[in-house]
């Protein structure tokens, strides 16, 4: 594939660790190998946890790894109007509804004896649809996508091309699968006016991203993003879900894993080439085995 446009989109809520380094280098290497461009985006819509000092640390770590990117950097906190316009388009088509359920309300509804064991979707337990049909007054409410209506709007099926090493090939999701295994996802949280799903789709289109590279843990969200692209008449990139970097116990690295923060490796005298070497087979950054089937398969 020639001239790929890839991106790395961290949240400035903590230090970058080895998993972030692997994700950034994967996007960088694929873009460079194709003669394309690597972009950086700061996903800071969680204003309660985002900090300027973490953003500066991200820039510093990535430059130390040898990466560069076009300026200015896109920041989600500066794009709330774009997300509001996208949400308004979906609402005008009758595809959304207001939801005032708390997490406790949802747990209580799902724990009712007649419901059986809750189905787990990309965002946790699949929402039981308690507020569906209750109206569109968004004051103090979250906004959800009516998955049944959305899938009917696109003809009952969405698909995407996966180019990554984990589950390569074409993946198809029908309406029953999306309704039963994904459910009415949140498009706008009541506290920030958008969600990861809506923001990432709008931003990838705005930046012209042609290949979305990210960890295999986000594979299950991809059908949601493809659906939103079709509903909003946005271009559809290809996807490359890469392996996850795990600790010795097989757990996925997270921001709580300060012992694997890049800044600590730097203080120990490691260089960028030595960080890359950690991702080779048999090295300390080697991930645990991945399942043969996709998490939505």
Q: What is the pLDDT of residues 268-288, one digit of tens each?
A: 999 999 999 988 765 544 433
Q: How large is the angle between the packed helices 80-92 and 196-206, nearest 10 degrees?
A: 110
In which residue are the tokens 């906004």 written?
Answer: 143
CA pair distance 144, 129, nearest whole angstrom: 9
The pLDDT of 162-176, averaged and rounded, is 93
Q: How far is CA 32 from the centre of its chain?
A: 23
CA pair distance 109, 104, nearest whole angstrom: 9
For 78, other C-beta atoms within 10 Å of its C-beta total 11
Tokens read off for 46? 């969680």
The pLDDT of 43-66, averaged and rounded, is 95
Q: How far is CA 89 from the centre of its chain?
A: 22
CA pair distance 186, 192, nearest whole angstrom: 12
Query: What's the length of the chain?
Result: 297
Give CA separation, 137 vs 143, 144, 198, in Å: 9, 12, 19
Nearest CA to 203 out of 51, 105, 59, 74 is that of: 74
CA pair distance 174, 158, nearest whole angstrom: 7
Domain-wise residue ranges, the chain: 1-78+243-297, 83-206
CA pair distance 166, 263, nearest whole angstrom: 29
CA pair distance 192, 77, nearest whole angstrom: 10
**Fold held by 1-78+243-297:** Rossmann fold (3.40.50)
Contact of 4 with 30, CB cutoff 8 Å: yes
> What is the C-alpha radius of gyration for the chain, rounded to an integer number of angstroms?
20
Please provide the average confidence, as pLDDT, over all residues in the chain: 88
Give CA separation, 135 vs 131, 187, 227, 240, in Å: 8, 16, 23, 38
Q: What are the residues facing 162 on neighbouring strands?
A: 169, 239
**Fold held by 83-206:** Rossmann fold (3.40.50)
Q: How far is CA 255 from the centre of its chain?
A: 16
Amino acid 109: pLDDT: 85
* Topology match between the domains 1-78+243-297 and 83-206: yes
Tokens read off for 228? 């939103």
Amino acid 103: pLDDT: 85
Band of residue 294 on the pLDDT scale cut at 50, 70, 90: very low
| pTM, rounded to two decimals | 0.90
The pLDDT of 86-95, averaged and rounded, is 96
């Amino acid at each position: 594939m020639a001239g790929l446009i890839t991106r790395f989109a961290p949240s400035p809520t903590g230090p970058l660790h080895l998993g972030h380094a692997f994700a950034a280098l994967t996007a960088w290497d694929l873009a460079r190998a194709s003669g394309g461009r690597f972009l950086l985006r700061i996903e800071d819509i969680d204003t309660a946890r985002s900090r300027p000092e973490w953003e500066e640390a991200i820039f510093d770590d990535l430059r130390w790894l040898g990466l560069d990117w076009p300026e200015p950097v896109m920041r989600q906190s500066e794009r709330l109007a774009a997300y509001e316009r996208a949400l308004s388009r979906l609402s005008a088509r009758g595809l959304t509804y207001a939801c005032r359920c708390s997490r406790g309300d949802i747990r209580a509804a799902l724990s009712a004896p007649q419901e059986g064991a809750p189905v787990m979707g990309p965002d946790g337990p699949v929402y039981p649809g308690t507020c569906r049909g209750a109206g569109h007054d968004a004051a103090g409410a979250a906004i959800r996508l009516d998955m049944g209506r959305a899938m009917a709007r696109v003809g009952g099926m969405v698909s995407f091309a996966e180019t990554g090493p984990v589950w390569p090939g074409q993946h198809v999701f029908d309406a029953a699968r999306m309704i039963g295994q994904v459910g009415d996802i949140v498009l706008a949280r009541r506290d920030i006016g958008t969600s990861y799903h809506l923001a990432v789709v709008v931003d990838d289109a705005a930046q012209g991203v042609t290949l979305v590279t990210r960890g295999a843990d986000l594979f299950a969200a991809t059908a949601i993003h493809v659906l939103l692209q079709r509903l909003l008449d946005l271009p559809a990139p290809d996807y490359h879900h890469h392996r996850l970097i795990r600790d010795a116990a097989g757990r996925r690295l997270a921001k709580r894993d300060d012992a694997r923060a890049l800044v600590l490796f730097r203080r120990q005298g490691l260089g960028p080439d030595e960080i890359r070497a950690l991702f080779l087979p048999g090295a300390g950054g080697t991930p645990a085995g991945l399942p043969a089937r996709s998490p939505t398969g």
